[in-house]
Structure 1
Amino acid sequence: MTDIADLSAVALLAAYADGSLSPVEVTEAVIARIEAREPELRALYAYDPAGARVAAKASEGRWRAGQPLPLDGVPCTIKENIATRGVAVPLGTAARDLVPATEDAPPAARLREAGCVILAKTTMPDYGMLSSGLSSFHPLTRNPWDLSKNPGGSSAGAGAAGAAGYGPLHVGTDIGGSIRLPAGWCGLVGLKPSFGRVPIDPSYYGRAAGPMTRNAADAARMMRELSKPDARDGMSLPPQDIDWLALEMDVKGLRLGLQLDAGIGLPVEPEVRAAIEAAAKAFAAAGASVEPAAPFLTREMLDGLDDFWRQRAWADIGRLSEARQAKVLPYIYAWAQGGRALSGERVYRGMSQMLAIRDAALKASAPFDFVLSPVSPVPSFAAELASPIHDPQRPFEHICFTVAANMSDQPSVSVHAGLTAGGLPIGLQITGRRFDDLGVLRMARAWESLRGGEVPWPR
């Protein structure tokens, strides 16, 4: 028997509809799971079981009255940097004042309107600028697959919560891989939508919010709600009528690119390469055409990106008092300080590399319907480290497969490809053409079918 806390959103909604389960008992099951696992995982911030129970009771009433909302009674979490009314937004750092937010940011508002039972916020590293569960404000977040390992980041708590069964729905944000990396290292489906597909506030170049779930069908149901319009995001796409639940697709005849070399950064480890190659062979056996996709990232692009983001981080941290600067995670402080003395011309040229990456990514992917690649070149790493290299002078060497889609506006999803010999998840990344978010989710669903079986979630 599947534990109630491990049921998908699709299964829960069906059970609520036929009366075999109620949101109240499901919420209690998820609370019990959290209380059992959270002392060792530390994935949550602003955990609110009392508020969740009130929301579950209200949801139960709507189901009994025959007036359910689209995601009524489904437990969810929301990343800490997505504002929820009445809860402070520390951005993962001890250097910020804890001022309660006055309203829900767009993703939180859409999930609340859809009837989700919001259990908690989820942890993140300082300013969201690490692929790690390390933070100066939050306790160290660990990976449920192996407590000595990192869940990744910056959507660290969301990755750990999803893998541990803290309910089926979790929302993260991604500006260089912050949804897909923890999804890959925790075995989840993590979608970075096309830029602007999901309204977010505040918005910024390349920044996206998206679902982190255990399967593509649940991610699609989240996207149906998250993609609804919100005037607060002036960079969002016009509303589009997308049949998010139409996930079945025949891959026969599709032209797929296989990228196993990003052009720069960490080399792909053998077990990761083998898993991605196996996925490509499965798609080919199902009738898709699979061809090599050439690398396109350069050292100039990666270093320019690093210059710009260091300076942007220092613009925030450098304004703080010395006492507050001392509270910032030392790794982040050392990294940001590298932007302190950069000339305006160098920062401008660094920012220009975002456009260079965009152009190169779109040109390289143009011949293909979708591109397959690793999410990360390496499996998860020690929980206490800020990145696989743990060197603030080399901060981006592990994000070379993920960051390009942020710059190019392309939708990109992580989906579980298999396990290493040591039992750690390996993420397959599927990147689509601009605005083809549904196509990317369909490819994720197709891979789930080709892969077969359920992911053996850690207990």
Structure 2
Amino acid sequence: MTAASPASPASHALADLTACDLVAAYEARRLSPVEVTQAVIARIEAAEPTLHALWAFDPQAALDAAQASEARWAKGEPAGPIDGVPVTIKENIATKGLGMPLGTAARDLVPSALDAPPAARTREAGGVIMARTTMPDYGMLSSGLSSFHDLARNPWNTDLNPGGSSAGAGAAAAAGYGPLHIGTDIGGSIRLPAGWCGVVGLKPSFGRVPIDPPFLGRVAGPMTRTVADAALYMSVLSRPDTRDTMCLPPADLPWLDLDHGVAGLRIGLVLDCGVGADVEPEVRAAIERAAHAFTEAGAIVEEAGPFLTREMLDGLDRFWRARAWSDIGSLPEAKRAAILPYIRSWAESGAALSGEEVYRGFAQIDAMRKATLTASAPYDLLISPVAPMPTYPADRASPTNDWQRPFEHIGFTVGFNMSEQPAISVNCGYTTSGLPIGLQIAGPRFADMAVLQAAAAFERMRGPQRAWPVFG
């Protein structure tokens, strides 16, 4: 397969409009949620036979929701800030009446009794849910490879990987399956596919978006084409839900207050996180150009040193292996045999770990947290690559494709999960072969607005992106 053909600069299909533009058009009665939903359905039907980004795509349910939205707008009574806007939801976020495959053929598809918090907030605010987006087995890959789904592919070059574990969400956002998508992230699973698919992916502060079930480092957040759309969606996703026992106190943040500069900000530039694969030259050059843009805009940018260690990453790997084995070890052998071999081998290795080894691995979460917070403390923001490399072949489970070294690409992202800090991916350039390169901007704990404002400022500095890929 080859890269998709670029869109004509003059084209401005309804499926490519931002959520902010759609809401303004609905309010002015210039567009109908029904015609927009029809356009997104057409886009999906053209691209999905190639990309495999969706599961449980239900065009009729989406049209029914769009018609209800149209009626609310006609009365001037929208349900919320995203009423009538097409949305996809990652399949590990429960939606009422649908099973949750978690990307693996080993799961029984038992219908969920309730919407999980991000899905509930989306539905309450009038979002038109188009489908669930695909993920790899149990979310434990930065890949579109799955034992349950067809192989998900990157819209910029379908021979290549969209990343993961929010694989389908990244591909759907880049391909224009509507403007709003929800991913989840415990080590980079929003930011990695966002970076490799050229879209915006926000990992909010831990607990900012209620989820169920909560877990250390795990967050849900928006994946969009623009920072403003991510901020708009955060105004919905961050609303409270008592089911999340680890969430932050509700905060009425000014999510759309994005018109801020970066002059005077002290920014640390991280080009070596201390562990994992070396940063490839084209990635490094793009990040350095981004750093120069911040300097030109008045920020004080200085290089920050590495802060993670091999012991930290390997310890976390051991703990995650043991956790994965605790989930799948009790499955019947026939079920375990259905799991992607890469993930099955990785998880089975957790069975041989002693209690002490698992505990010492778990303790590395705190070590990673302290190291990341210490590295961040002198700065208003840290910037870095999202990943050391552009994306990689679609049929690989990870850049190394080696289950014994599965996390060599997450060094720049994973620390901010464990430190609970907000971090965003925003496109900062392209390789000579046309692949997007993600810039990560991270802020202090709870400083979600600072991160969004800096990302919006960088969008303005960066200028227009290349035309999005199109299919059909």
User: Normalized against structure 1, the TM-score is what?
Assistant: 0.99
Counterpart mapping for 1:16-415 below 5 A: 16-69=26-79, 70-415=81-426
Unaligned runs of 5+ in 1: none
- Whole-angstrom distance in 1 between the partners of 2:465 and 2:23: 20
Superposition RMSD in Å: 0.6
Identity %: 68
- Distance between the aligned counterparts of 1:392 and 1:317, measured in 2? 17
**Structure 2 counterpart of 1:135, one-letter code:** S
Deviation of residue 19 (structure 1)?
1.3
Query: Could you list the per-position Cα deviations for residues 105-140 of structure 1 after superposition, in whole angstroms to 9, with x for gaps in the alignment?
Result: 000000111100000000000000000000001111
Which SS does the other structure have where 1:287 is aligned?
A: coil
Residue 12 (structure 1) aligns with: 22
Between the aligned partners of 2:317 and 2:21, the Cα distance in structure 1 is 43
Residue 339 of structure 1 aligns to a residue in which SS?
helix
Deviation at 1:455, TM superposition (A): 4.1
CA deviation vs aligned residue, 1:221-250 (integer Å, no higher than 9, x gap)? 000010000000000000112010101112
| Alignment partners' CA distance in 1, 2:23 and 2:327 | 43
Deviations 1:248-276 (A, max 9, x none): 11210000000000101000000000000
What is the aligned residue count? Answer: 459
Give a deviation string over 1:413-452, Cα, whole Å, max 9, x none. 0000111001101000000000000110111100000001
Aligned equivalents of 1:91, 1:250: Cα separation in 2: 40
CA–CA distance in structure 2, aligned partners of residues 85 and 316 of structure 1? 23
Secondary structure at the residue paired with 1:95? Answer: coil
Partners of 2:464 and 2:305 in 1: CA distance: 32
Q: Report the TM-score when normalising by structure 2.
A: 0.97
Q: Measure the CA separation in 2 of the matches of 1:385 and 1:136.
A: 13
The change in CA–CA distance for 1:20 and 1:454 in structure 2 (over 3 A counts) is farther
Mapped partners of 1:241, 1:286: distance in 2: 29
For the residues of structure 2 that align with 1:454 and 1:64, how far apart are their CA atoms?
35
SS at match of 2:49: helix
Once residues 204 and 299 of structure 1 are traced to their aligned partners in structure 2, the CA distance between those partners, rounded to angstroms, is 23
For 2:39, give the aligned amino acid: A
User: Which residue among 433, 443, 454 is the counterpart of 1:432?
Assistant: 443
Q: Which amino acid aligns with 1:262?
A: C
Query: Separation in 2 of the partners of 1:400 and 1:456?
Result: 30
Which residue identity is paired with 2:70?
E
Maintained 8 Å contact 2:88/2:130:
yes
Supply the distance in 2 between the matched residues of 1:308 and 1:58 (Cα, whole angstroms).
Answer: 46
Query: 1:454 Cα deviation (Å)?
Result: 3.6
Measured against aligned partners, the alpha-carbon deviations of 1:294-339 in whole angstroms (never above 9, x if no partner) come to 1011111011011000010011111111110100000000111111
Partner secondary structure for residue 469 of structure 2: coil
* CA–CA separation in structure 2 for the residues paired with 1:30 and 1:115: 16
What letter is aligned with 2:257?
Answer: A
Q: Give yes or no for the alignment of 1:422 onto 2:433.
A: yes
CA distance in 1, matches of 2:327, 2:122: 30
Counterpart CA distance in 2 for 1:26 and 1:59 is 11
Structure 1 residue 27, shift from structure 2 partner: 0.3
- On the 8 A contact 2:14/2:36 being kept in 1, the answer is yes
Residue identity opposite 1:26 in structure 2: V
Residues 448-457 or 320-329, more deviating:
448-457
Amino acid aligned to 1:280: A
Report which stretch shifted further, 11-20 or 31-40: 11-20
Secondary structure in 1 aligned to 2:50?
helix
Query: Which whole-Å CA distance do the structure 2 matches of 1:370 and 1:82 have between them?
Result: 30
What amino acid maps onto 2:16 in structure 1? D
Question: In 1, Cα distance between the equivalents of 2:282 and 2:267?
Answer: 21
Q: Residue type matched to 2:98 in 1?
A: V
SS at match of 2:429: strand
Q: 2:261·2:454 contact (CA, 8 Å) conserved in 1?
A: no
For the Cα contact (< 8 Å) 2:102–2:139, is it kept in 1?
yes
Aligned-pair distance for 1:18? Answer: 1.2
